[in-house]
Amino acid sequence: MLSIPDMAILGVLALLVFGEKKLPGVMRQAGRMMRDVQNTSQSFLREMDRAADVTEPVPPEPIEPIVPPEPIVPPEPGPPKDVT
């Protein structure tokens, strides 16, 4: 931010450069430009906030079918094995 002496120096320089008749018009035009910049930036920020608020629907996760496990079947008894 500019201090008071800095602003005074800038005011004197502007008066010397533009003259006392053109300076008010130049300052009005600078004020309009600043207002336009502020309006544009506020509009941009509002649009960004609005875009951030819109949530895209999340697709549901695919449901895997539940497959029951196969039953455990004991082996059928057969002829005894010879262990010799």
Tell me the CA distances in angstroms from 64 to 60, 61, 67, one per residue in order: 12, 9, 9
Render pLDDT for 5-52 as a digit per residue (tens, 0 to 9): 888 998 899 989 989 899 999 999 999 999 999 999 999 999 988 887
The residue ranking higher by pLDDT, 83 or 35, is 35
In the chain, where are the structural domains located?
Answer: 21-53
pTM over 0.85: no
One-letter identity of residue 32: R
In this prediction, residue 81 carries a pLDDT of: 73
| Spatial distance between the Cα atoms of 33 and 71, rounded to a whole number of angstroms | 80
Cβ-in-10-Å burial (0-12, 13-18, 19+) of 7 comes to exposed
End-to-end Cα distance, the chain: 103
The residue ranking higher by pLDDT, 66 or 32, is 32
